Chain A
Amino acid sequence: MEGFLTAWLGAVPVYMTPLLLAATGLILCERVGILNLGSEGMMAFGAVAGAVTVLSGGAPWLGLAAGLAAGVALAVPFWLAVVVFRANHILAGLGVVAIGLGAAATLGRDHAHKPFAGLGKLDLAPLDAIPLVGPFLFRQDAIAYLAVAIALAASVVLSRSMTGLRLRAIGEDPATADTAGIDVPATQIAVVTIGCALVGLAGAYLSVVGSKVYVDGMVAGRGWVAIALVVFARWSPARAILGALIFGAAEALIPRLQVVGAEVPVYILSMLPYVVTILALVAVAILDPARQGEPRFLGRAYLRQDR
């Protein structure tokens, strides 16, 4: 039993990290009022960008950087649509998903199913020999630690700094932010760009660190789960760490159960993270009907003349 737990826990961060990176990126977008449904496409594009870069001889770090760049690239049509052209955020997000998935499939056609070395784990011996939690805490890749650091940093900036106050003001009440001399569209564009970069990085993590191969459709709904995670985390990156941990644990359980020969069919088992996500959303809705933390102006177009 302890072996099972150790192995399961040790596998959690690899599933948790992309969810956390994506959720942190999405929280940044939503905190400035931009509802970003594009994560599934951005992650796919990030995954292919990372894989293509590494397969073309780039270092794993370069692959991850390519993921960031892929997110930034898809951020452009998105902020053009929602910030500049005041388009509906949901429709624009879905458009970006289509572009991201389509571009990933197109670019990835010659690069799919070709394994590469990717980014390995850090060697923190002998710490990883600690019973039970050793591999979980100390046998991971650098990005897993970085993702937690980014989430914590984002949390501190949002809740403690003047910059965070200004960003949150845009998502809560852009007219007031505008009166306070904040350039609302420019700030939204900047933050959305950063947020989408993190989502792209999450995608690159899937291919460059996680699977070390690109397969069409490898994001497999994780972009959608990240969106749910934002709600679950009540728009706090620090709470998203906990949420990503729970969802990551659910996902990591699937191959573990198969290994130990559980009698549940694989596709039914694979539904687990999605079912957990829906149940979590219901639980959060019951426990916190006031939707604490949800930016009041989320998903709406701000126009100075309308105030």
Chain B
Amino acid sequence: MLDGVVLERRQGVGRGRQAAVFAGSIALGLALSAGVLVAAGVPAGALFDEIVVQVFFTASGLAQTITMATPMVLLGLSAALALKHRFWNIGIEGQMILGAVAATAVAVGGVGGAGMRPAMMLIAAALAGLAWIAVPLVLKAVFEVSEVVVTLLLSSIAFLGLQHLLFGPMGDPARNFPVSPVIDEVARLPLFGFGDVHAGLVVALAAALAVAVLVDRSRPGFFGRFVGDNPSAARALGFPVVATTALFVLLSGALAGLAGGLVIAGTEHRLSQYVALHATFSGIVVAVLARYSALGCVVAAFFVAGVYVAGSTLKVFYGLPEGVILLVQGVVLLTLIGGQFLALFRVHREARPAPAPALPASTERAA
């Protein structure tokens, strides 16, 4: 198979080529997704109107998209920081759940003065996410247990814990649904007066900026680049490899936790089972779209949020399940990472010698 097809690693990849491949991959992903949607019963003609116009070019759509994008920026940063530094954090969902639970607990428990409440919630959320990622970090550092599986499993455990709390200690006794009581007014982030867009947006943008400076301009960021590219060289150069990894991994968990806090304090105002639905996928798709750049995560989160908002529109009007959103993300993720190949390699067919009519067996071929 593939005989005669030769791959060559490109020497240096031009920015133009990178951009073209990137755009092409996204276009292919969206085209495939559109195909899926049409197959699922959405009229093809409605696609542009439903998605692009509604989501990005109407005031209410834009406000929804920005609101949705706010925690997603943090999820993207969380994924980017971990993946850049060779730690597969596939438990973003779990860390976000912990963050949401912690924020809700602070709000319900009335911790801190009224004016400080949202800040206390966000700090608690970040710490909770940090604590949850510390488990796989320690297991990897001490026992060399792969973080891939542990972060995944801890997400499942966090989700079960969330259900336990909602059906029990943190549930709202006045309602049949597994949700917590709505948090007090004082525990909510202020709105900007543009739809549901809230002060969390500032938090998310500030986080992106801070991560960008940390990664690109600081000494720990410099160490991190070496740890990500070649840990052995980093060690031989005397860089603090373990501390650097720990810093960025803990930060990854804290950012995911913070995202959970933002959702509670900014949008949902109460805990539900769906608080962190598909957070891991969203974070990774945002990070890959942003090519692990912090500021890129802001732009990428905006577009992925658009997919979510479009998804809920499609759900209302065409009865499509939420799963479609996931499907679209999966398709785009695969076309993106597959497309990288075309940027990195040159494919050409070699002129192999024509198949000899009958290759003589070695024993028969005395000249």
- Proximity string of chain B (103-121) to chain A, C-beta cutoff 8 Å, 1 when within and 0 when not: 0000000000000000000
Is B149 in contact with A305, judged by CB distance below 8 angstroms? no
Measured CB to CB, the residues of A under 8 A from B are: 37, 41, 77, 80-81, 85-88, 90-92, 94-106, 108-109, 183, 185-186, 189, 216, 220-221, 224-225, 227-228, 231, 265-268, 270-271, 274-275, 277-278, 281-282, 285-286, 289, 303-306
Interchain CB contact under 8 A, A228 and B334 = no
Interface residue from A88, A103, A268 paired with B164 (Cβ < 8 Å): A268
A101 & B156 in contact (Cβ 8 Å cutoff)? no
Could you say which residues of chain B place their CB within 8 Å of the CB of A81?
A: 334, 337-338
- Residue contact B2 to A185, C-beta cutoff 8 Å: yes
Shortest distance from the beta carbon of B1 to any chain A beta carbon, whole Å: 4
Render B266-289 as a binary contact track against A, CB cut-off 8 A, 1 for contact.
000000000000101100100010
> Closest CB of chain B to A223's CB: distance in Å?
9
Name the one of B143, B146, B327 contacting A103, with C-beta atoms under 8 angstroms.
B327
How many inter-chain residue pairs (CB < 8 Å) link A and B?
162
Residue B9 CB within 8 A of the other chain: yes
Expressed in whole angstroms, the Cα–Cα distance for A271 and B158 within the complex equals 9
Assembly CA distance A277 to B150 (angstroms): 9
Whether B168 lies near A265 (C-beta < 8 A) is yes
Which of B2, B88, B329 is within 8 Å of A90, CB to CB?
A: B88
Give B90 Cβ to nearest chain A Cβ, in Å: 7
Whether B281 contacts A98 by the Cβ 8 Å rule is: yes
B150 touches A271 (CB 8 A): no
Inter-chain contact A88/B326, CB cutoff 8 Å = no
Smallest CB-CB separation from A99: which chain B residue? B330
The contact sample of 13 A-B pairs, CB cut-off 8 A, is A41-B330, A90-B90, A91-B337, A98-B329, A101-B326, A106-B324, A225-B153, A227-B152, A267-B167, A270-B160, A277-B153, A278-B150, A306-B9
Does B24 interact with chain A (Cβ within 8 Å)? no
Chain B residues with Cβ under 8 A from A225's Cβ? 153
Tell me, rounded to whole Å, the shortest Cβ–Cβ distance linking A96 to chain B.
7
Task: Report the Cα distance A85→B1, complex, angstroms.
Answer: 14
- A224-B153 contact, Cβ under 8 Å, with A92-B334, A303-B9: yes
Q: Are A102 and B323 in contact (CB under 8 A)?
A: yes
Q: Are A104 and B152 in contact (CB under 8 A)?
A: no
**Assembled-state Cα–Cα distance A305/B347 (Å):** 12
**B150 interface neighbour in A97, A186, A281, Cβ under 8 Å:** A281
Question: Which of A95, A224, A281 is within 8 Å of B330, CB to CB?
Answer: A95
Of A80, A90, A95, the most chain B CB neighbours within 10 A belong to A95
Contact A91 B149 (CB under 8 A): no
Chain B residues whose CB sits within 8 angstroms of the CB of A220 once the complex forms: 156
B145 beta carbon closer than 8 Å to chain A: yes
Cα–Cα distance between A220 and B179 once the two chains are bound (Å): 21
Name the residue among B160, B163, B278 with the largest chain A CB count within 10 angstroms.
B160
Contact present for A186 and B9 (CB under 8 Å): no
- Contact assessment for B1 and A90 in the assembled complex, using a CB-CB cutoff below 8 Å: no
- Give me the 5 closest cross-chain CB pairs, A-B, nearest first: A105-B323, A102-B327, A98-B330, A267-B164, A99-B330
- Contact (A303, B327) CB under 8 Å given A77-B334, A224-B153, A285-B143: no
Q: B40 contacts the other chain (Cβ, under 8 Å)?
A: yes
The answer, among B7, B144, B157, for a CB contact under 8 Å with A285, is B144
User: Of the candidates A86, A101, A227, A306, which one forms a contact with B149 in the assembled complex, judged by CB atoms under 8 Å apart?
Assistant: A227
